[in-house]
Structures are given as C-alpha cells and as structure tokens.
Chain A
Amino acid sequence: MRFVLRRLGFFVVTLWVALTLNFLLPRMMPGNPALAVLGKFKGEVPPQALKVLEAQFGIDSHQSLVSQYGAYLGNVATGKFGVSLTTQPGTSVAQIVLHAIPWTLGLVGITTILAFVLGTGIGIVGAWRRGGRLDSIMPPIFVIMTVIPYFWIGLILILIFGVKLHLLPYFFSYDYTLTPAFTPSFIGNVLEHAILPGFTLLITTIGTWILTMRNTMITTLAEDYVRMARAKGLPGYRIMLDYAARNAILPNLTGFAMSLGFVVGGAILIEEVFNYQGVGYLLLQAVNNEDYPLEQALFLLITAAVLVAILLSDIATAILDPRTRGAK
C-alpha cells in the first residue's frame, strides 16, 4: 500500500510539472497565430486581414502570464480547453480531439496490441527453439524492418498495392463518398482502409518486441528453476509458458504499457503518408499553426496517458514481482 501511495505522489508531481511546461512552452515559441494563418493562404489573403485576425485571436489583449496560468490550471481541472485558434478556428478543442481520437485508437491502438502479442509470441517460441527455423528467419527480418523508416515502407506499400495493383485503398480512413454509419459495409470499408497503414505499423514495430522477449527468455531459460522443471519432466509447453515466459515477460510488459500510453499521440508520419485523420496529424498541424489551445490539449492528453500507463504498469509489476515493492 505504501508503495502505491508513493507512486501516486510521484505521479501527481510529474503531472503538475508537465502541466506547467505545457503552459510555458507554446508561449516561448516565436510568432503568433495570426501570422500563421496569413501564411497558410497561398497569398489569397490581403494584408489588411492581419489586424482583424489579431483581434479575433485576442492577441492584442495583454493579460499577465500569471493570470493566464491561473486561468489555464482552472480550465484544465474543469476540462475546458477553449476553442481552436488556427487549425479549425472557433471549434472547441475537446470536439476536435474527440473526432480524431477514435481513428488513432483504432489504428495505432490495435496495431500496438497486435504487434505486442505477435512479437512476444514469436520471441517466446524463437527462444524456446533457439536456432530453429522460426528463430533463424523471423527475428532477423523484423529487426531489419524496425530500422527502416516506417513511412518509407508505407510509401512502397502504397506504390505496390495501391497505385500499381489497385488492390487496396491507400488514402483516407474510409471512402469519403460514403456517409459514416454503423453498417457492416461502412465498417468493412474502414477496415479495408486500415489494412495498409496498420500493416506498415505492425511490421515495423514488431521487431522490438521479438528482440527483447527473445533475449530475456534466453536468459531465463538458463535459470535453475527451468532446469528443475525439466528435471521434473513437465511438458515442454508448460515450461515454456508458465516457467520461462511468465518471468521473462516483465520488461516487455513495462514497455508495452508505455507504448499504449503513446498510442494517443498517434503516428504522425503514418497519418501523413496515408492521409489518415488521426491525432498525430492534428498535433503536427497544431504546432505548425501555433494553435496554443489545441497544442496544450494534445500534449496534456499524451502526457497524462503515458503517466497513467506507467503508473498502472508499476502497480502491475509490483503485483507480479514482489521484489520491486521494496525498491525506492
């Protein structure tokens, strides 16, 4: 219990630091949103508009940083993130994020889980049958995949399966001529559009899981209790799963919790390459357009998600592994 309380305290302090940084950083960047909007319009906007925009964005009102900070903390506590300034002017930030988040959770979340499950599985079996056919093919291939930039793999897949073979759709998260609805055909369409980006993410992230799982598994297999289990004559699969894998999975589990936290940040380049409407792209847009409210909401969301994920994985590890409970 003391351990959990200590972790919670740590969590609160980190969250406050993150909140404060989140407030200060955008304000330290050069430029202002009105200029960012002017720059966006390919010269279609007359110079007179600068003053109008500055008035619309409230840039000319000089509020002290301290009172802005106070208002900011209050708004965060009550879940008010204000309205977007430049990316989607006037729309509430909460609404913008809510529109984007299901796409990201669906695409990046599911592929992260899949990559973890498949990668860990391959790692376990590979280490168990070290030097076997699976072990000599899968890990090297996927480890090479992890070091290739994933957007490049995405572009190659678009070229082959989309442009040349016309087998799969490669842009958008669904056929934009359809009206979104919970019908089988629409859901099928969404899934079809998720194949290429999802596959790209999967094959480029799976290698890390394989590698860490395989390596800890090999160390664990050399432990005395595994030898003991063999000596007792337990069936192979039980030794593999209950004795070795269960212990070896701990470091991978922490990593998995963290990457689940990062899921809400989206996959910026994947979303860009596949023209996919998710959080990652929103984040890039917000930063480019100096959209403080949107930036803050997104950074806060990501920080909070990562912190919560770490807290949960700490607690989970403590339950699974009693040794960590005494750690300072």
Chain B
Amino acid sequence: MRRLKTIGVLIAAGVLAAACGTSSSSSSSNASGPSGVLTIDNESGGTWTCDFNPFNLSYLPYSLGPVYEPLAFVNTLQSGKATPWLATSWTWGNGNKELTFTIRKGVKFSNGDPLTAADVAFTFNLMKKFPTLDINAVWSVLSSVTQMGSGQVVMTFKTAAVPYFYYIADQVGIVDQAVWSKVANPVTYPDKNPVGTGAFTVNSSTCTPQNIKYLANKHYWQPGEPKVGTVNYPAFLTNDTANTYLANGQAQWGSQFIPSIQKFYVARNPSYHYWFPPVANVSLFINLTNPILKNVAVRQAMAYAINRSQASTIGEYGYEPPSNQAGIVTPTFSSWLDSAQAAAYGNNYAYDPAKAISVLEKAGFKKGSDGIFQTPSGQPLSFTLLNNGGFSDWVAAVQTIQTSLKAVGIQVTPENLAATSYQTDLYTGKYQLGYGSETGGPTPYFELRQWLYSANSAPIGTAAGSNWERYSNPATDALINEYGATTNPATQHSIVDQLQQVMLQDVPVIPVTEEVDWYQYDTSTFTGWVTQGDPYAQPAAYNYPDWGQMLLRLAPVK
C-alpha cells in the first residue's frame, strides 16, 4: 500500500515537473510577445467542423470576438454599457432614425488588408442581399447602410430602433470586402480560413475535429495585445467529461454546469474559482388562450403560491437565484427594479400561500372535495405543465412548483418531454403551462419585450418567436415601441417601470429562477479574469463577442 502511494506521488511529481517545464519554457518569452496556452472547457456536444462563417448561427460563437470583431461592445453585466471596438464613436440623429459610426483607423485584417468604412457597409449590405445571413433580423428595421466620406458609415432606420444598436453594433462581425465579395454563396460558405481583424487567428491547419487552436495575431491593432499566445478549445461530447477535465486542472476557463461545485471543483485547488452572474429568467409561461388561465386571478394566485427559493435550492443547487414577478434580474439589473411599485404587489409576489388562496376565493373559486379549486361552473384548476425533460435541473424545479401549487389547491401535472417535442409545443402554443427561458439582452427591456410584445406572438399552431404565452395588449406594444425611440436613460427607466407594472398586474408569465452564465476559472496560470468586482464582460466562453473581450484582458501569470 505504502509503496503504491509512493509510486503515485512519483508519477504525479513527474507529471507536475513536465507541466512546469512546458509552462516555464513558454512564459520565458513573455516580455517579447504573447505566450502561454489557455484551454477552454465548454461542452459542445459534438466534434468541431472547423467552419467559422460569422453569418451562420452554428459557427458564429467560435469566431465572433477573437477572430471577427464587431463595431462596439455592449456589456450586459453593466446594464448595456457600450464601449468602442471597431468603431471609435457613434451618434444617433434625425429623431433616432439615423445612426452614424466613425470607423477606427489603422486596423488591419489578418491578410494585411486595411479595415475601411467600405468593409463595414459591405458587411451590412451583404446581409440585406442574403436575408438568411441576417440572424438578428436587423434589416427588419434598417432601410439603408451607406459609406459616408472615408471613415464613416450611416445607417438609416424605417422607425426609431434604438435597442437594435445591440444587434447591429455588438452582434455583427465585420468582414473583408475583398474576400467576401468573391464568395459566390455566403450562406453555405464554410469560411475555413477566416480573415478577421481580431486578436487571434485560426485556420484549417490549426483546427481538427477534436480541437480548435487559436493563435495570437502578431499584427493585432491594439498594441501589446493579446498577451495569451495560444487558446485551445477542445470538443467535449458530454458535460461529465468536460467537468472531469476541468476539475483535474487540464483546462483553465470553464463554462460548465457542475453539480456540487464546492466539493467537485473549488475544494480541489485554492486557485479554482467560479461566478454565476444571472442574466435572464427561467419562467412559467401561462397559455393565455386557455379559458381558465385567461382569468388574471388564477395567474396572480399562482405567482403567490410558487415557492421560488425552493425551486432555486432544490432544482438549481442554489446556483440560479430566485426570480421576482417584476421580471428584473437581480443583482445584475438591480438599478432597473422599481421596488416601490413591486412592494405594492404583495412585496413583489413574495411566497404567500394564504394570499394565493384568498385571491382565488375572492374571484369566486371554491375548493372541491378533493381539495382542488373549481371554477363556478365546476371545472377543476388542473393543468398540464410542459417541460424540457432533458434538463434535470428544470425537472426538479418543476417538481417543487407542482408541490407548492398543490398546497394551495391547484393541480399541475408535469409533462417532461424530449427537447424537440418540448420546443415545438412551447413555440406553437400547444400547452397549458410551460417552463422555459428567453435569451434576454443587455438591459431588462430586451426580455420584457420578448415576453410582452405582440409582434413576437403568433396564432396557436404557428411558432411564436418568444411571446409563447400569447400576450397581446396595444398599450404595452406602444410602450415597447416608445422605448425604441429614445436614447434618454430617464425615459427608458420610466418605460421599463411601466412594463414591470404589466408583469405585476397582468402576470402573463411567472419568472421562477434566474438563468446564469456558467463560469469557472483557474487563477494559477492566468490573470485578468472577470470577477464579481470587475464584471467587464459576460464570462462564459459561449458568450459572444464577450469572450473576445476576455481574451484581450487575460494574461499569463509571470
């Protein structure tokens, strides 16, 4: 036994020595340029194709940020604060229907071509010519994009569309006109050797099905950047393999859901850390076309009855904090929360089963012999709850919802379906209650709009973009449109306050827990990580273009 241990120690020491050997030899060249090998650990669910087309949703996450760069960086974790990237400045004009970008000078693509305003105009007009490249539907609000003078690009809008700044400036990578004008079909173009302005390059010889290797761009336009020499992005087929790899210190930057993270990850090494900043909600969607659920009293009662903190601790290991009915993700967007208003609604619908029962009784519902409330005509308050059976955390959370609703006399039967069936039913409205999440955006407005805007809805049977509960109210639509026309923070806040009132008064959806960015980091070999004290970007490796910002800040430990 003793001998075995000694051998183990010897081997471990050997591995350590080998590891030290490689890192020290690579960091010795630190003063002269980028160095160090950073490994990302994010389950991709499949092997890599080594395609990097920035107009294709499947490949964009691996090129936008470090390889292709957008005009500006919009930081969700700082309430949508925009900082210059390829554009040095921008101004809104003509009643917020015109947006002028000044393009940065001295930027070069990795093939040596200089970045010009013409490249920017070309990129956007390419998306107009091929609508399938326009992932964020920016041309639904744009009417033209033209170059002005040598260094500016003017975008004109059909209507005022201020929130679209995020999709236009932060979500579109600028491509080289000289390269892409020769591409016959940009929709199917794989872009194996992307030519971007970014701090890293990648090509078909550095990418294999098992790993994408990004190399520092030695001619990057920001002096002294990047400091990281090589980024490895291995392909993990499952969450478990990725977690094991990360916990064994073979990767430094994790974007993983890890059960019992304290024991499995943090406790292994004092330099292992994690932070899960909340960015959107996981909510109970209520089908408003259902004759019983149409009654606002039923929805309000459910909002009181659901024990959100139980859903958070039991369903999500407490990693995803409980939500509030106003729909504002806290603490990320705390400055947007209208606490005074929320207090008027039972302290933001704080868990209160007695209140739920009294709301139902006041609305004329009576308990049947089985303890379940009934409508005056004798129909029981009994619903099915559509859920994604592939997410074990959601299944557990939904169980707690079932229990807490049962306690007040509302019967819920969970239907945990396979992902595709679940999504089809949720999008097409073939459900009574449904558990799901929106993407959100850099301010709470984006999620509120996804929930409440009638343009995101569709008749039952047709897929709705994001308004799955089918909420429709002209006054709310008007508010949402009004926000689009203003750049004034005070007006924006007042509109979001009114949208919160819609959430509190009408209860079209019930936010239950807050969705987070999964993020782990190892401080022993690299510094410059996003922390709670310095949330300069969304920190998961799958957050684009944010991970490009992180790769500019990260540096090998000297």
Is the beta-carbon distance between A177 and B211 smaller than 8 angstroms?
A: yes
Smallest Cβ distance from A235 to chain B, in angstroms?
Answer: 46
- In the complex, what distance in Å separates the CA atom of A277 from the CA atom of B235? 9
Give B417-431 as 1s and 0s: 1 = Cβ < 8 Å from A's Cβ atoms.
001110110010000
Give B34-51 as 1s and 0s: 1 = Cβ < 8 Å from A's Cβ atoms.
000000000001110101
Give B125-150 as 1s and 0s: 1 = Cβ < 8 Å from A's Cβ atoms.
00000011011110010000000000
Q: A39-B420, A52-B134, A272-B238 are in contact. Are A46 and B211 (CB under 8 A)?
A: no
- In the complex, what distance in Å separates the CA atom of A158 from the CA atom of B238? 15
Q: Does A171 touch B at the CB level, under 8 Å? A: yes
Smallest Cβ distance from A71 to chain B, in angstroms?
Answer: 19
Is the beta-carbon distance between A164 and B8 smaller than 8 angstroms?
A: yes
Q: A38-B423, A48-B136, A285-B45 are in contact. Are A91 and B210 (CB under 8 A)?
A: no
Give A146-162 as 1s and 0s: 1 = Cβ < 8 Å from B's Cβ atoms.
00000000000010000
Is the beta-carbon distance between A176 and B232 smaller than 8 angstroms?
A: yes
Closest to B465 in A: A47
- In the complex, what distance in Å separates the CA atom of A49 from the CA atom of B439? 12
Smallest Cβ distance from A88 to chain B, in angstroms?
Answer: 4
Is the beta-carbon distance between A53 and B57 smaller than 8 angstroms?
A: yes
Q: Does B237 touch A at the CB level, under 8 Å? A: yes
Is the beta-carbon distance between A171 and B245 smaller than 8 angstroms?
A: yes
Say which one of A26-34, A61-69, A122-130 lies at the interface with B: A26-34
Q: Does A242 touch B at the CB level, under 8 Å? A: no
Give B193-234 as 1s and 0s: 1 = Cβ < 8 Å from A's Cβ atoms.
000000000000100111101000000000000000000101
Is the beta-carbon distance between A48 and B209 smaller than 8 angstroms?
A: no
Task: Collect the chain A residues with CB atoms within 8 Å of residue B188's CB.
Answer: 83, 90
Is the beta-carbon distance between A30 and B135 smaller than 8 angstroms?
A: no
Is the beta-carbon distance between A277 and B57 smaller than 8 angstroms?
A: no
Number of interface residues of B (CB under 8 A): 66
- In the complex, what distance in Å separates the CA atom of A89 from the CA atom of B53? 11
Smallest Cβ distance from B292 to chain A, in angstroms?
Answer: 26
The answer, among A38, A91, A290, for a CB contact under 8 Å with B51, is A91
The answer, among B57, B137, B388, for a CB contact under 8 Å with A41, is B57
Smallest Cβ distance from B516 to chain A, in angstroms?
Answer: 10
The answer, among B131, B232, B237, for a CB contact under 8 Å with A271, is B237
Q: Does A206 touch B at the CB level, under 8 Å? A: no
- In the complex, what distance in Å separates the CA atom of A83 from the CA atom of B232? 27
Is the beta-carbon distance between B210 and A172 smaller than 8 angstroms?
A: yes
The answer, among A49, A273, A288, for a CB contact under 8 Å with B57, is A49
Closest to A286 in B: B46
Q: Does B319 touch A at the CB level, under 8 Å? A: no
Task: Give the most central of A47, A87, A173: most B CB within 10 Å.
Answer: A47
Interface residues of A in 179-213 (CB under 8 A from B): 179-180
- In the complex, what distance in Å separates the CA atom of A48 from the CA atom of B166? 14
Contacts from B to A (Cβ < 8 Å): 8, 11-12, 15, 45-47, 49, 51, 53, 56-59, 61, 131-132, 134-137, 140, 167, 187-188, 190, 205, 208-211, 213, 232, 234-238, 240-241, 244-245, 248, 280, 388, 419-421, 423-424, 427, 437-441, 450, 456, 463, 465-466, 515, 540, 542-544
Contacts from A to B (Cβ < 8 Å): 29-32, 35-53, 55-56, 83, 86-91, 99-100, 158, 163-167, 171-174, 176-177, 179-180, 271-275, 277, 281-282, 285, 288, 290
Additional A-B contact list (19), CB under 8 Å, known A39-B420, A52-B135, A290-B420: A46-B136, A47-B450, A48-B137, A49-B136, A50-B463, A51-B465, A52-B132, A55-B131, A89-B49, A91-B190, A99-B47, A158-B244, A166-B12, A172-B210, A174-B210, A275-B236, A277-B210, A281-B47, A282-B46
